[in-house]
Each structure stands twice: as C-alpha cells, then as structure tokens.
C-alpha cells in the first residue's frame, strides 16, 4: 500500500493540520516508508511463533500484597474544610 500526495493532503485536512507542499512531500515519503516496513513485517512467517507479552522471557519480581501504612483517614479529614460520612465535600461545579 502506498499513499498519494492528494491522500496526504486529505489526511492533513481531516486532522486540521496546515501543511505546505514541501512538508506534504516529506510526509508522503515517510508514510510510504512506514507502510513498506509494515508490509515486510506482515510477510514474515509467524506460524510457529507463540504470542508473548515481552521480547525477553523474564519474570517480574512482585512484592507481597499487604497493607504497609496505617489508616490515617481521620487525621486527613480533620484538616479538610468539609466532610460527611467519611467523604470530602466540595462545591458543585456542574449544574
């Protein structure tokens, strides 16, 4: 797949980007290069390759899922301007 100069200008117009003729020519070459790379990658045979989340087969070190801080809600809400039922009250900004 390759783009034409008119298609690049149309995409720029839809994106509300003001593009000069020189910039359109440069973008055309860069986009067609990207499409060529995508076509080359799609041509690779990946029939026996299992999907993976990361290129390296490594395990992430995880920490224990435990509480590490004490409950300080009362202390935090004591300095708040307004609270009710454990919630912070704020002015209404949308009607």
How does residue 15 score in pLDDT terms, banded at 50, 70 and 90?
very high
The pLDDT assigned to 22 comes to 95
Q: Dihedral, CA atoms, 28, 32, 33, 38, nearest 10 degrees?
A: 150
DSSP reduced 3-state for 88: strand
Q: Which CATH number fits domain 5-43: 2.60.40, 1.10.3470, 3.40.50, 1.10.20?
A: 1.10.20
Q: What are phi and psi of 18, to 5 degrees?
A: -80, 115
DSSP reduced 3-state for 48: coil
Domain layout of the chain by residue ranges: 5-43
Q: What is the mean pLDDT of residues 9-18?
A: 95
The pLDDT assigned to 34 comes to 95
How does residue 90 score in pLDDT terms, banded at 50, 70 and 90?
very high
> Taking the model in full, what pTM does it have?
0.51
Nearest to 86 by CA among 74, 94, 71, 69: 74
In this predicted model, what pLDDT tens digit does every residue of 16-71 receive, in sequence order? 999 999 999 999 999 999 999 999 999 999 898 888 887 887 888 888 889 989 99
Alpha-carbon distance of 60 to 83, in angstroms, equals 40
């Amino acid at each position: 797949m390759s783009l034409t100069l008119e298609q690049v200008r149309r995409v720029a117009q839809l994106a509300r980007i003001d593009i000069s003729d020189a910039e359109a020519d440069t973008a055309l070459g860069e986009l067609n290069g990207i499409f060529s790379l995508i076509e080359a990658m799609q041509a690779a045979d990946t029939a026996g390759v299992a999907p993976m989340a990361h290129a390296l087969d490594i395990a992430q070190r995880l920490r224990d899922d435990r509480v590490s801080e004490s409950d300080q809600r009362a202390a935090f809400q004591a300095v708040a301007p307004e609270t009710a039922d454990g919630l912070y009250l704020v002015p209404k900004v949308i009607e």
